[in-house]
Every structure is written in structure tokens, then in C-alpha cells.
């Protein structure tokens, strides 16, 4: 398989889930409804730059020091997943756009590596991310209407 960034990503997910749980508990209003936030234009730009830099740095490292099969696509998936998970934990709506991008890219990577069940799993994740985006947009609209 040789998708090393993906392996590192799973370790990251385990650690960030612990922090995310604490952040998530604080993300409700007085009625218990989810508080959804939007990234500022500056934060969007910083997120895009971080994704690109992360992809380049991790992809170059995997290309140079490992026998990774698809170092840059694998690095892009890992970099954007880290950012998406952080945005999710902090309840930023834009996390779903990153997850959708990750899922589409992952489907292609896993199909190209003949990992069809994993590609199908990411297809399911894609549907969940689209649902999450639509649900969070509704929550944000309700939140805005209350204000």
C-alpha cells in the first residue's frame, strides 16, 4: 500500500479526538443547539496556504525519504484532513468543504491503488460530509435568525 501519510494521519486523528471532545462540549448555546462559526476571509486564506504548504512539505519528504506510492496526493489528503479535523472540532462550517475535497481525492487515490472497499468507504464519507454541510448551513441560518 505504501500510503505513509495516511498512517500518520490515523495517529493524529486519535490524539485530536481527545481535544475535539473538550472543544465540542463547549460549542452549544443556552438551548443546547450547536454553535456554528464561519471562517473570516483571512482565516480561509491561511487555511488554503497551510493546506498547500503542508502538501508540498509532506509530499516532498515522502517522495525523498520513503518509497511512498503517491506521495503528493497522499500528502494532500493528510494535510487537508488535519486542517478539516481542527476546523470541525472548532465548529467552523468550512470544515465540510475540506472534507468533501479530501473524500473526492481519497476516492481517486484508493481506486488507483485497487483499494476498492476503502474507496467505497470514502464515497460514504463524501455523502456524510455533504449532509454535514447542509445540516450545518441550516443550523447557522437558525442561529443567525435567533440573533
Tens-digit pLDDT profile for residues 44-82: 999 999 999 999 999 999 999 988 889 999 999 999 999
**Where does residue 43 rank: exposed (0-12), middle (13-18), buried (19+ CB within 10 A)?**
middle
Three-class SS state of 63: helix
Q: Indicate if the pLDDT at residue 89 is higher than 80.
A: yes
Q: How many domains does the chain have?
A: 1
Q: Which residue has the higher pLDDT, 33 or 3?
A: 33
Three-class SS state of 35: coil
Instruction: List CB contacts of 12: < 8 A, sequence separation 6 or more.
Output: 81, 82, 85
How far is 26 from 52, CA to CA, in rounded Å? 30
8 A C-beta contact, residue 1 and residue 67: no
Cell 487537508: give the residue: 80
8 A C-beta contact, residue 73 and residue 108: yes
Q: Sorting pLDDT into bands at 50, 70 and 90, what band is 121?
A: very high
User: How far is the first Cα of the chain from the last one, in angstroms, to the nearest whole number?
Assistant: 50
Length of the chain: 147
Range of 101's domain? 4-146
Residue range 4-58, pLDDT digits in tens: 767 777 788 788 877 777 777 776 677 777 789 999 999 999 999 999 999 999 9
pTM: 0.86
Amino acid at each position: 500500500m505504501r500510503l505513509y501519510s495516511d498512517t500518520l494521519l490515523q495517529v493524529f486523528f486519535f490524539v485530536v479526538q481527545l481535544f475535539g471532545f473538550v472543544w465540542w462540549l463547549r460549542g452549544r448555546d443556552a438551548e443546547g443547539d450547536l454553535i456554528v462559526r464561519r471562517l473570516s476571509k483571512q482565516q480561509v486564506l491561511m487555511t488554503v496556504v497551510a493546506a498547500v504548504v503542508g502538501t508540498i512539505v509532506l509530499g516532498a519528504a515522502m517522495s525523498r525519504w520513503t518509497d511512498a506510492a503517491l506521495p503528493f496526493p497522499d500528502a494532500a489528503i493528510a494535510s487537508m484532513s488535519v486542517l478539516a479535523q481542527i476546523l470541525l472540532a472548532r465548529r467552523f462550517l468550512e470544515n465540510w468543504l475540506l472534507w468533501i475535497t479530501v473524500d473526492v481525492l481519497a476516492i481517486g487515490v484508493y481506486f488507483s491503488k485497487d483499494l476498492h472497499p476503502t474507496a467505497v468507504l470514502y464515497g460514504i464519507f463524501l455523502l456524510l460530509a455533504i449532509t454535514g454541510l447542509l445540516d450545518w448551513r441550516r443550523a447557522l441560518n437558525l442561529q443567525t435568525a435567533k440573533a
